[in-house]
């Protein structure tokens, strides 16, 4: 545990759910943890005890929050969950916090399997639907659009560039389909689950319209990826919105969690359930403030492209998957400094964008 983690509290200690099993973390809320084939090797999913009125009367069951990627391994774990962790009751509803593959990957499979509706934000639903449409360009983790965008920011040489260009259809591999219809979640709206009201809190910067859920009755926040205890959420700029000020949007979004009670139990998508959300907000603000200061100093010493500035933020060796995230996040930091007027941006004769100090 690092020094920052020691400033947070983990009520479950070192306990983790075994594959295909669940741990109760609050009344009527069970924690499922599924593996991912990435450096970030797991995602947390949540089972909420529920009851809904149907054509034949009131039905007892569960609301599922988030789904994992589409893979044989995750489907097998879900089948074990269905058999052993649902008390013989059905899934009544599937809520997805946002459109990233580890959250929406198996949504269509779950909704079809249980004849259950999908609930999520409209923006993320339509982005996901667009990415799985036949012939859709996938700029999330590779392909020509991503490679050309990274090239405009200086990533023009090396085997990794070609591997990014060849990495087509990545999203559809992890999210083969998305339900055709959904129920819209809106910021400030309320979802009743198991007789309790859960308030929707939208967030931006990490995903187009991420939805977290807060229940005042039991003081629990299903935080998704907006509030992680150990790592800083990836905040990227992509080719379809190259001038986005994603980091500013993210930092403005997390401040809204400060309005929640200091002791709120946060259920993150990665890591362990924790308390200390107010301190975690400060940690994330301090982290990005320090990274921005380092970037500003480096770019005022000499103009840098994102590829040249990347080692300022990421000092470890990166695989191709991590490199796409790292480039997107470096651009997000540089765009914030540029939009704030602290750096100027110029395109060189080589077509590469560089960020540097304003002319005297």
pLDDT in tens, 74-104: 999 999 999 999 999 999 999 999 999 999 9
User: Given a cut of 70, is residue 236 above it in pLDDT?
Assistant: yes
Q: What does the mean pLDDT of the chain come to?
A: 95
User: Given a cut of 70, is residue 270 above it in pLDDT?
Assistant: yes
**Residues recorded for the chain:** 360
User: Given a cut of 70, is residue 3 above it in pLDDT?
Assistant: no
* Structure confidence at residue 267 as a pLDDT band (50, 70, 90): very high
User: Given a cut of 60, is residue 307 above it in pLDDT?
Assistant: yes
174 domain-assigned: no
Structural domain count of the chain: 1
CATH number of the domain residue 335 falls in: 3.60.15.10
* Structure confidence at residue 136 as a pLDDT band (50, 70, 90): confident
311 domain-assigned: yes
Give the pTM: 0.96
310 domain-assigned: yes
User: Given a cut of 80, is residue 312 above it in pLDDT?
Assistant: yes
Which phi and psi (to 5°) does residue 263 adopt? -95, 15
Give the domain extent around 76.
Answer: 5-166+179-356
171 domain-assigned: no
254 domain-assigned: yes
State residue 142's pLDDT score.
82
133 domain-assigned: yes
Closest CA to 164 of 152, 151, 173, 153: 151
User: Given a cut of 60, is residue 53 above it in pLDDT?
Assistant: yes
Helix axes 159-166, 143-152, angle to 10 degrees: 140
172 domain-assigned: no
CA of residue 255 relative to chain centroid, distance: 17
100 domain-assigned: yes
């Amino acid at each position: 545990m690092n020094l920052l983690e020691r400033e947070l509290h983990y009520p479950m200690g070192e306990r983790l759910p075994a594959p295909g099993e669940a741990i109760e973390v609050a009344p009527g809320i069970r924690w499922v943890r599924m593996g991912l084939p990435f450096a970030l090797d797991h995602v947390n999913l949540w089972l909420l005890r529920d009851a809904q009125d149907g054509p034949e009367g009131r039905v007892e069951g569960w609301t599922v929050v988030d789904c994992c990627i589409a893979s044989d391994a995750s489907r097998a774990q879900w089948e074990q969950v269905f058999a052993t962790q649902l008390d013989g009751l059905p899934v009544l509803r599937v809520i997805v916090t946002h459109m990233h593959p580890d959250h929406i990957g198996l949504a269509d499979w779950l909704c079809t399997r249980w004849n259950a509706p999908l609930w999520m934000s409209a923006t993320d639903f339509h982005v996901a639907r667009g990415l799985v449409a036949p012939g859709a360009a996938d700029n999330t983790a590779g392909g020509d659009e991503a490679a050309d965008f990274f090239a405009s920011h200086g990533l023009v040489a090396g085997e990794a560039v070609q591997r990014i260009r060849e990495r087509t259809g990545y999203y559809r591999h992890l999210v083969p389909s998305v339900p055709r219809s959904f129920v819209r979640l809106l910021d400030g709206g309320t979802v009743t689950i198991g007789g309790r009201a859960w308030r929707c809190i939208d967030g931006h910067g990490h995903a187009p319209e991420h939805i977290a859920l807060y229940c005042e009755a039991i003081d629990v926040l299903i935080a998704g990826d907006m509030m992680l205890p150990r790592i800083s959420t990836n905040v990227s700029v992509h080719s379809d919105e190259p001038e986005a000020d994603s980091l500013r949007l993210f930092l403005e979004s997390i401040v809204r969690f400060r309005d929640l009670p200091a002791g709120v139990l946060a259920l993150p998508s990665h890591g362990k359930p924790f308390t200390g959300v107010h301190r975690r907000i400060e940690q994330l603000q301090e982290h990005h403030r320090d990274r921005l200061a380092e970037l500003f100093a480096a770019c005022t010493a000499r103009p840098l492209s994102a590829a040249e500035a990347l080692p300022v933020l990421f000092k470890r060796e990166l695989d191709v998957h991590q490199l796409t995230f790292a480039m997107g996040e470096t651009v997000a930091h540089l765009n914030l400094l540029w939009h704030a007027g602290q750096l100027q941006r110029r395109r060189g004769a080589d077509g590469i964008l560089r960020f540097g100090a304003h002319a005297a």
